[in-house]
Structure 1
Amino acid sequence: MELTFWLLDVTYGVVGNAPELRLFGITNDDKRVLVLDRSFRPYFYVLPSGDVNNVFTNVKRKLEGKVLNVEIVKRRLFSNEVDAIKVIATIPEKVRELRELAAEVPGVEDVLEADIRFSQRYLLDMGIKPSNWVVVDQCEETKGNYQVDLVCLAKTRPRMIEEHKLPSFKILAFDIEVYNPRGMPNPDRDPVIIISTMTKEDGVKMFVVNDDKNDAKIIREFLDYFKRYDPDVVVGYNNNGFDWPYLVNRSSRIGVRLALSRMSNPPEPSVYGHWSIIGRANVDLYNFIEEVGEIKVKSLDRAAEFFGIMKRDERVLIPGHRIHEYWDDKSKRDQLLKYARDDVVSTYGLAEKLLPFAIQLSSISGLPLDQVGAASVGARVEWMIFYEAVKRGELAPNREERPYETYKGAVVLEPRPGLHEDIAVIDFSSMYPSIMMKYNVSPDTLVLGDCDDCHVAPEVNYKFRKSPEGLYPGLLRMLVESRRKVRELMKKYPENSPEWTLLNERQRALKVMANAMYGYCGWLGARWYRREVAEAVTAWGRNLLKTVIEKAKSLSLPIIYGDTDSLFVRNISDKVDALINYINNELGFDVKVDKVYRRVLFTEAKKRYVGLTIDGEIDIVGFEAARGDWAEIAKDVQESVAEIVLTTGDVSKAVSYVKSIIDKVKAYQFDIDDVIIWKTLDKSLNEYKVLTPHVAAAKQLVEAGYKVGKGDMIGYVVVKGGGAKLAYKVKPYILVKDIREIDVDYYVEKQIVPAAMRILEVLGIKESQLMEGKAGKSILDYFS
């Protein structure tokens, strides 16, 4: 029979002495299916340094009896044709041993592609990507002990088809609360007291222990419900970092087998730090929130508020270390249950916002849905490049350890300090991808010697062949063309219809992946890394911006500021139009007016300004408000000062506002959340040589019984007393018992006033005026 299904998950097993690929999916008619393919074998390439035939003979002799086949094949490496030796193994587990044996053979220069995961190798060679529709023309129904509606054995190679629709998913959000009287909970000791779930069909369900805290009972109840509901996608918030490892370890400790996968296995750790539930997609939404720069503190409550799911002041907030108190005190237990409910509702709401984009990232990159969030941006781009390389017969270089190196970056002009009115921002749409396509910049088009028909990068003089089209430009052109087609297709559907929304997420994902290509060029961990590529692209970028600046000067169009791929100019419509026409038509780059500011304020520093758009939005760039290492109160003050100055034109009003905040702080009229300073531990505690504030706070947490380590975000406040050094005046916010411990003078002098002065000092305001003086000028006195 022919079978069409949407590819959700892929894994493999070994049956007898042969690997079996397992493709889990969902059909058009809402059936859960498993397609088995036993026809594929693992392989890798051996690259000879000398005569290929001699090396081939020696490799074959060395591996005799251990492999299925050894053959000489033609491939390309950085566009140069090479003779490679393809070694086909019996099962994936043998590849590491075979690779090492092959590397020992005299005349072997390198062993390539031996580190590609077997299931991903299969997808690459078949040319199919997860989160897409796949057809198997001949599939024979068979038996199997799997939690699916249909199991069939593929008799033909699967093929991918283009279909802009999604199957009917079953999504389950879940969250756990753990009893933790000793600080950081331990699964060998501390029970799970609440498991919360939410689905579209059943709403919120809560599995709550009795007073005896017998969590084996609720874990079994959760397990039974999970199997009955049979979700395709499971979502959580930091579930890879906490919920799954805790639940799996706790279940093992109390003798409950957490058989949640469609093969009746427990969740298990997998690549990129994610936890795999075979046959389903386990998605940690925290991975995607980590990439949202506007959310400084990545907690679930703040992410939910940012996306308009639930306001923080409308939900129950309980510090994690006090969960046990709310359980032990029966008068507070309802609050704890409401807190758990709010968490799972927020998680489900985030899934509705983030999953459509995650699905498209998976579909484009080729990484399965449960891996694409946990993978780095570089890894996503690299798998996308892999697919293109396989089509071209291009071998993938091995990863290398490379020393850190810098190169000259983009043009950043000195801003004109002060206030400016009616400013247009000219945006170079995808400048770096456009440069890579225009000049065929790619690792495989780089010419290190003489070249008669090459593009030559300004300043650095690197040469790139004009033809054939390179790996990077070819892939970029495909992404750009795909995005153009998708946007055309969107016009056929009503805005915000399901079809329009799906296509909109796809065009956004295509844009994100195209723009990430340049970052991949300069990523030291990239397989296809060439420093010359990254340097050449930025050199062409600098040259382009300088050329445009000279043209603007010839048009007598004043330039206020310029940064990388945008120019801030006076909004003189005819001159702006003339400049845009010049860039589009004569230079061949796509630009447009991205936004127009009614007012914009520049300081003397680069990359630091605040602006009010004609739509009434406030942009704050490069100030404390856009950084995570200042207290929330400093961020709020700065945003409010910017808004007052830009919207009312009244500096006195801004000064009065700051003074009122100072008065409130000195009277302790604030919440502790307002004064927490957040900082991430970027290495292990014992690796720090200097005692910084967040390290000092982290050490206090350890002493109090909490487990902290690399990657954890530490929240601390500055308290009274201690020594002259700030590190001796900090305390983890969760250990503060009384808000009057807070050193309010520190927050006034080192947070509130400096944050406000970043904006107000450009307007001539002195620090003393915030503390006691008066401001008597109008904003109009400060216009440049």
Structure 2
Amino acid sequence: MTEQSSLSEFLSNAFALFRPEAEKDKTSGQVIRYGSENYLSGLPTRDELVARNDGGSTSTLKDEIANHRNIPFMPVDIEEAKEYINQIPHYILRLYGYLVNGQKAVVTITGIKVFFDIRVSNNTSISKFWSKIKGILATGKDGSGKTVNMNLIRMECIKAYPIRGYYAEKKPYLRIVAPNKDLRFTALDIISSYNSKVDPECKIETALDDTGTYYQDFEPLYEIYPPSLFTRDRALVLTWDIEIYDSRGSGNFPEAKNDTSQVFTICMTLHWKDDPIPLERICLVDVETKLNPRWITIICGNQTNLLKAFALCWKSFAPDIQLGFNDSGYDWPFIVEKATKLNVLKWMV
């Protein structure tokens, strides 16, 4: 029996491990052949998965958006960025998450006021205290030697209750407003550096970020969308595992640095977070393998194509959560090192 036929027999048997008899199947078998292109023909996208499992909620979402109504959105990741307006960087925040039907969405928030608050010292006038703060910021440097362009800094006077301790009345604060978070960090670092050099009674007290909590009543949304969309979370979960062999034979532990160690299979399943029934089962292989009616089988031909196809699957599905067996301890480091050796890591990311 050849090595190729042995692998094919192994893969056919491996499919049986993922075949609970009582499960109502949502998937269908398919064979895709991948030859190193920048795309994977025939692979369903996340939007296609949603379309066939949305219970009619996508059309409802479109109507709500068209009528400028609030829609449910669950963020799972954030990104801070800069947007240049008149050559001045401004702070923007991007929230990555999913809608109630499972579609991926990005919410970009602009016009965010970037600031920190400094409590005005007791028995000190606001104008005199602001002059002191301006002097410290104008002449100081942060730990990297950066300075603050005072033309970009605005000062506002506010009153608030200090976070620490009990106070019957609000206290005066200076709100230092910056155009972006980098300038804010630099200003805070300069204040921190100043505090490290003066006596405790002379230190400048900065307030912590707002710790208030805002609650939204979601009850009206239950009248618009099926309740199951709220009780069964539509975060998309991708589970994956790899199979590796070493051509030197058993007894030789596969290591990515060795050319004799190769990934020959990567299997994935896709689920909604609270649904045990998979939306899709996908198996990437490097050799010809017969069709399994419950899996999408992607025949890649070699290890390099297999790694590239894995990246394309990830891009197509854009999962919110990924899970693997010892993936951070072995699988992912192996893939990264092997992709680096094969000069495809930059292509993959």
Q: Normalised by the size of structure 1, how large is the TM-score?
A: 0.25
Structure-2 change in CA distance of 1:242 and 1:85 (3 Å): farther
Paired with 1:95 and 1:246, the residues of 2 have a C-alpha distance of: 40
Aligned residue number for residue 175 of structure 1: 241
Matches within 5 A, 1:440-479: none
Aligned residue number for residue 202 of structure 1: 280
Paired with 1:246 and 1:52, the residues of 2 have a C-alpha distance of: 62
Aligned residue number for residue 62 of structure 1: 136
Paired with 2:347 and 2:178, the residues of 1 have a C-alpha distance of: 32
Question: Is the Cα–Cα contact under 8 Å of residues 27 and 33 in structure 1 kept in the other structure?
Answer: yes
Paired with 1:21 and 1:128, the residues of 2 have a C-alpha distance of: 21
Structure-2 change in CA distance of 1:33 and 1:178 (3 Å): same
Residue 235 (str. 1) matches residue 235 (str. 2): no
Aligned residue number for residue 79 of structure 2: 11
Instruction: Report Cα offsets for 1:246-295 as digits up to 9, x if no partner.
Output: 434543443325788xxxxx4xxxxxxxxxxxxxxxxxxxxxxxxxxxxx
Q: 2:255 aligns with which of 175, 185, 201?
A: 185
Aligned residue number for residue 304 of structure 2: 216
Percent of aligned positions with the same letter in both sequences? 14
Runs of 4+ displaced beyond 6 Å = none
The letter of the residue matching 1:62 is: I
Alignment gaps of 5+ in structure 1: 136-162, 261-265, 267-784
Paired with 1:83 and 1:191, the residues of 2 have a C-alpha distance of: 65
Structure-2 change in CA distance of 1:255 and 1:88 (3 Å): farther
Aligned residue number for residue 92 of structure 1: 181
Paired with 1:238 and 1:86, the residues of 2 have a C-alpha distance of: 48
Give the drift of 1:40. 1.0
Counterpart secondary structure, 1:224: helix
Residue 247 (str. 1) matches residue 335 (str. 2): yes
Aligned residue number for residue 662 of structure 1: none
Give the drift of 1:218. 0.6
Aligned length: 223
Paired with 2:285 and 2:346, the residues of 1 have a C-alpha distance of: 17
Question: Is the Cα–Cα contact under 8 Å of residues 46 and 108 in structure 1 kept in the other structure?
Answer: no
Paired with 2:117 and 2:257, the residues of 1 have a C-alpha distance of: 44
Paired with 1:52 and 1:248, the residues of 2 have a C-alpha distance of: 59
Structure-2 change in CA distance of 1:28 and 1:20 (3 Å): same
Paired with 1:46 and 1:186, the residues of 2 have a C-alpha distance of: 53
Q: 1:39 aligns with which of 111, 115, 135?
A: 111
Question: Is the Cα–Cα contact under 8 Å of residues 46 and 84 in structure 1 kept in the other structure?
Answer: yes
Aligned residue number for residue 75 of structure 1: 161
Structure-2 change in CA distance of 1:127 and 1:179 (3 Å): farther
The letter of the residue matching 2:236 is: K
Q: Which moved more, 1:172-181 or 1:6-15?
A: 172-181
User: Which one scores higher on RCO, CA 8 angstroms, separation ≥ 6?
Assistant: 2
Structure 1 vs Structure 2 CA RMSD: 4.1
Give the drift of 1:128. 7.2
Structure-2 change in CA distance of 1:111 and 1:236 (3 Å): farther
Structure-2 change in CA distance of 1:20 and 1:99 (3 Å): same
Question: Is the Cα–Cα contact under 8 Å of residues 74 and 99 in structure 2 kept in the other structure?
Answer: no
Instruction: Report Cα offsets for 1:304-337 as digits up to 9, x if no partner.
Output: xxxxxxxxxxxxxxxxxxxxxxxxxxxxxxxxxx
Give the drift of 1:38. 0.8
Structure-2 change in CA distance of 1:257 and 1:69 (3 Å): farther
Give the drift of 1:197. 0.9
Q: Normalised by the size of structure 2, how large is the TM-score?
A: 0.50
The letter of the residue matching 2:97 is: G
Counterpart secondary structure, 2:162: strand
Question: Is the Cα–Cα contact under 8 Å of residues 73 and 97 in structure 2 kept in the other structure?
Answer: yes
Aligned residue number for residue 57 of structure 2: none
The letter of the residue matching 1:207 is: L
Aligned residue number for residue 313 of structure 1: none
Question: Is the Cα–Cα contact under 8 Å of residues 191 and 204 in structure 2 kept in the other structure?
Answer: no
Structure-2 change in CA distance of 1:249 and 1:201 (3 Å): same
Question: Is the Cα–Cα contact under 8 Å of residues 339 and 345 in structure 2 kept in the other structure?
Answer: yes
The letter of the residue matching 1:185 is: E
Question: Is the Cα–Cα contact under 8 Å of residues 191 and 214 in structure 1 kept in the other structure?
Answer: no
Give the drift of 1:15. 1.9
Question: Is the Cα–Cα contact under 8 Å of residues 98 and 105 in structure 2 kept in the other structure?
Answer: yes
Paired with 1:102 and 1:43, the residues of 2 have a C-alpha distance of: 14
- Higher gyration radius (CA): 1
Aligned residue number for residue 108 of structure 1: 203
Give the drift of 1:245. 4.4
Paired with 1:178 and 1:58, the residues of 2 have a C-alpha distance of: 65
Which structure features the higher share of helix residues? 1
Question: Is the Cα–Cα contact under 8 Å of residues 81 and 91 in structure 2 kept in the other structure?
Answer: yes
Question: Is the Cα–Cα contact under 8 Å of residues 308 and 344 in structure 2 kept in the other structure?
Answer: yes
The letter of the residue matching 1:176 is: I
Question: Is the Cα–Cα contact under 8 Å of residues 163 and 207 in structure 2 kept in the other structure?
Answer: no
Structure-2 change in CA distance of 1:93 and 1:193 (3 Å): farther
Counterpart secondary structure, 2:175: strand
The letter of the residue matching 2:186 is: E
Question: Is the Cα–Cα contact under 8 Å of residues 56 and 72 in structure 1 kept in the other structure?
Answer: no
Structure-2 change in CA distance of 1:185 and 1:88 (3 Å): farther
Structure-2 change in CA distance of 1:191 and 1:184 (3 Å): closer
Give the drift of 1:86. 2.9
The letter of the residue matching 1:108 is: K
Counterpart secondary structure, 2:319: coil
Instruction: Report Cα offsets for 1:692-718 as digits up to 9, x if no partner.
Output: xxxxxxxxxxxxxxxxxxxxxxxxxxx
Question: Is the Cα–Cα contact under 8 Å of residues 114 and 181 in structure 2 kept in the other structure?
Answer: yes
